[in-house]
Amino acid sequence: MATMIPGGLDFVERAPLRVVTEVSLRQSPQQVWEVLVDTERWPEWFRACKAARTTSEVGHGVGSTRWVHVDLFKVNERFIVWDEGEQWGFTILDANLPLADTVVEVVRLSPEGDGTRLVYTFSIALKPWLRPLTAVFRWKFTSMFRSSLAGLAPYLDQRFAPAAGAPTAQPA
């Protein structure tokens, strides 16, 4: 595994390459949060994720770690921000493919009507020898995150669907 330079939240704003993907969801921020922090179940909705697991004794919060296999990448991540129900973010500590110096990813949730607006920001500093290919990487990461996040809405709809035969609210 290639060791990377850990980044902080400030890296998101100054990263040479940023990919921002936004999606509107019908569920509450708390319901979306519940799914986002369930690391082991990411492969059920994040299309590019082949496997994911918590690797620290405490599985949640700043400083906790996880291992993720996304597309061709196998990475170890450490959470650098964890604001319950609002945002979390992590930096990649090491990766099987030595393509980047630093990667920070942040997810922000905000209420939107009766649902949630999710903003996923992927920030990366490619290795110097790969920088001429920035446009190709932008296309690849944009495509990957759009496709993968497209699986979140149907997953949430199924997970939080009212039970069959459950009583529905009646107008007063």
Percent of the chain scored above 90 by pLDDT? 88
Residue 170 lies in a domain: no
Residue 165 lies in a domain: no
Residue range 116-161, pLDDT digits in tens: 999 999 999 999 999 999 999 999 999 999 998 999 999 999 999 8
pLDDT confidence tier of residue 58, bands split at 50, 70 and 90: confident
pLDDT for res 29: 97
**pTM (two decimals):** 0.91
pLDDT for res 170: 47
Residue 166 lies in a domain: no
Residue 167 lies in a domain: no
Domain extent, residue 134, equals 2-159
Give the mean pLDDT of 50-77. Answer: 95
Query: In this structure, what token pair is assigned to residue 111?
Result: 């209420």
How many distinct structural domains can be found in the chain? 1
Say if residues 54 and 125 touch (Cβ distance below 8 Å): no
Output the domain CATH number for residue 128: 3.30.530.20
